[in-house]
Amino acid sequence: MSKVQLKIKLDEFIKLGNELDAEAKRLYGRDAFLFHEADGGVYIMDGDSNKAASERQKHIRVRATCANWGAGAW
């Protein structure tokens, strides 16, 4: 794959993620979102919680595993 093809695929990936995020909001309300966890899980959430992880996980509506790419915050 060339660098140009790689960039095109990456842009398509972002577009798909944005579509999934928008669909989550349509189905579950404005607080819903697409979420990628560092463990490789990708989730559609109907909201979030500032409490323990177990409370946050109650908001998972759809899940897919296991993404092999990295995740984090800078």
19-57 per-position pLDDT tens digit: 999 999 999 999 999 999 888 899 999 999 888 888 999
Q: What is the largest CA-CA distance in the chain?
A: 45
Residue 66 has pLDDT above 70, yes or no: yes
Residue 6 has pLDDT above 80, yes or no: yes
Residue 8 has pLDDT above 90, yes or no: yes
Does 71 reside within a domain? no
Query: What is the model's pLDDT at position 74?
Result: 67
Q: Stretch 2-29: mean pLDDT, rounded?
A: 98
Does 70 reside within a domain? no
Query: What is the model's pLDDT at position 71?
Result: 81
Domain enclosing residue 25, as ranges: 3-64
Does 41 reside within a domain? yes
Does 72 reside within a domain? no
Decide the pairing of beta strands 33-36 and 42-45.
antiparallel
